[in-house]
Amino acid sequence: MSARISLVEDTDDLRKMLSQTLSDAGYNVRHYRRAQDFERDLDEWNPDLSIVDLGLPDKDGMGLLSDISTKKDTAILVISGRSSITDKIAGLELGADDYLTKPFEVSELLARVRALLRRAGPKTDEKSETTTYKFCGWTLDLDQFMLIDKDGEHTRLSASEAALMRVFLKRSNRLITRDQLREELGDRSDEFSFDRAIDVRVSRLRAKLRDSTKEPKIIKTIYGAGYILISDVE
């Protein structure tokens, strides 16, 4: 079954061109000019990926990101003319899984789409793949993108946070370099953007794991080398 994609873009020509391109690539696409139309359709359509422009006529795109990431499992790709590092980091902190600055090549958009869907999608060729991990009093449910604490409280992860957490848990108590993370995650962004994105995601994971940012006990940064997740994993 083809992946479902929602596209929210208020520029008519660009929206129609991207919708046609994604459809030609084999995806099921619904496109919207306004945030309210996208949100109204979200539960029924349940997209695997949402592509969101930040400059929408009826709602600030940053607010829309925050709403989507806390309510749905959909992966999120931002497309925006806002190119500053501050805007990119803000988008990632609010739940975006990737951020593509306009103007961009259609081939790059398709590569980002494929990478995000690989991260978010099930491992259909690995039926024995573990989808539940237990560590440090936490349970990670990859089917639901959920962290569950010892008291049963649920915290939602974004698609990229869940993918990153999975890499850490599969290699617990071992140093993981940034190059290894890039390879595991299939990320094709430039080195600087990748490093900033990983820093943001690690920070968000620590916050959701209630791990100290000053003296982390679960995900430790080895400066100049990479990260180590300190825990036995079941």
Task: State yes or no: pLDDT of 212 exceeds 90.
Answer: no
Residue-level pLDDT at 90 = 85
Alpha helices (H) in the chain, listed in sequence order: 12-24, 35-45, 61-71, 85-93, 106-120, 159-170, 178-185, 191-208
Task: State yes or no: pLDDT of 123 exceeds 50.
Answer: no
pLDDT-based confidence at residue 93 (cuts at 50, 70, 90): confident
Residue-level pLDDT at 117 = 87
Q: How far apart are CA 164 and CA 159, in angstroms?
A: 9
pLDDT-based confidence at residue 78 (cuts at 50, 70, 90): very high
The per-residue pLDDT for range 53-66, each reduced to its tens digit, is 998 889 888 888 88
The per-residue pLDDT for range 154-196, each reduced to its tens digit, is 998 888 888 899 999 999 999 999 888 888 887 766 676 778 8
Task: State yes or no: pLDDT of 127 exceeds 60.
Answer: no
Hunting for tokens 């349970």 — which residue is that?
139
Q: For residue 119, what are the CA distances in angstroms to 41, 93, 194?
A: 24, 18, 15
Q: For residue 160, what are the CA distances in angstroms to 21, 112, 156, 199?
A: 24, 12, 12, 12
pTM beyond 0.85, yes or no: no
pLDDT-based confidence at residue 121 (cuts at 50, 70, 90): low
Mean pLDDT, all residues of the chain: 87
